[in-house]
Amino acid sequence: MPMFTTRDGTDIYYKDWGAGQPVVFSHGWPLSSDAFEDQMFFLASKGYRCVAHDRRGHGRSGQPFTGNDMNTYADDLAELVEKLNLKDAIHIGHSTGGGEVARYIARHGTKRVAKAVLISSVPPLMLKTPANPEGTPIKVFDDIRAGVHADRSQFFKDLSMAFYGYNRPGAKVSEGVRDSFWLQGMLAGLPAAYECIKAFSETDQTEDLKKFDVPTLIIQGDDDQIVPIAAAAMQQGKLIKGAELKVYKGAPHGLCTTLKDEINADLLAFIKGERVSLGSKAA
């Protein structure tokens, strides 16, 4: 398996498919690079080099006890980009991966970045605070921690229902997708599965978003039960200058899977510099 070792000795697994302008993917919690295979296969078939890594502690990467924070995630991404000498790259992040992309841009700049895409992403801040009234109460994240600690196997099985919107009336449930979510989640080590909750929920990335200076596409479903859109995409659109915002009506958090054809078409259009269908300019 292709791996590289970070400066702190953590082995990071990555996929590298195709050739052409690089498209770099950062996955959500508690998943792995497998979560982006639909997009990677599609874009690699269209003439792009698709690269995705398993975040430290997740998937096939090493499982250190430390480093489960946005700064380290971003630095790992920077090391991958430098190792592969990726230039003029499009960075795509889903959920926690969107936070990773934002912190990467804030800490390492955009000299190697051509464009960015945030999909159902956690910035600027998931946690509800006096300054962030649209956020989610800390009790919700405490309950997630408790669920992961008590029986994460069952917790991940249960979480898959809301993640993909399968708990909505009339939803067509794929048990295969649910099994894949569970499998990816169980490959994560317990330290990462637990500590990453704090990283994605309590990291204030308001200033990170203000540092974006490349074309950016924001995508989120308005029925996202994991990352509320009011605290996420709607705020990202206000903080990232000139960003394009597309809201998928009725779509869940895991729309890269449930609506993969639509997502793939929008990503290809954005990468090629075409107008994203039904998109609207962020305020």
Please, what are the averages of pLDDT over each run of 10 residues along the chain (283 residues)? 95 98 98 98 98 98 97 98 98 98 98 98 98 96 98 98 98 98 98 98 98 98 98 97 96 98 97 74 40
For residue 72 the two structure tokens come to 């380290």
> Is 224 marked active-site?
yes
Q: Is 95 a catalytic residue?
A: yes
What residues form DSSP beta bridges with 246?
219
pTM of the model: 0.96
Looking at 32, 33, 95, 120, which residue is catalytic? 95
Q: Which two tokens stand for residue 74?
A: 């971003």
Catalytic residue among 34, 208, 224, 266: 224
Partner residues linked to 50 by β-bridges: 17, 23
* Angle between helices 138-163 and 190-202 in degrees, nearest 10: 110
pLDDT of residue 1: 81
34's tokens: 């497998």
Q: What is the pLDDT of residue 274?
A: 86
**Could you identify the residue written with the tokens 């792995």?**
32
DSSP 88: S
Selected catalytic residue, list 27, 58, 253, 266: 253
Using DSSP's 3-state secondary structure scheme, residue 40 falls into: helix
The end-to-end CA distance of the chain, in Å, is 44
For 151, residues 6+ apart whose C-beta sits below 8 A from its C-beta are none
Q: What is the CA radius of gyration of the chain?
A: 17
> What phi, psi does 30 have (nearest 5°)?
-100, 40
Residue 37 C-alpha from the chain's centroid:
13
Please tell me the predicted confidence (pLDDT) of residue 276: 80
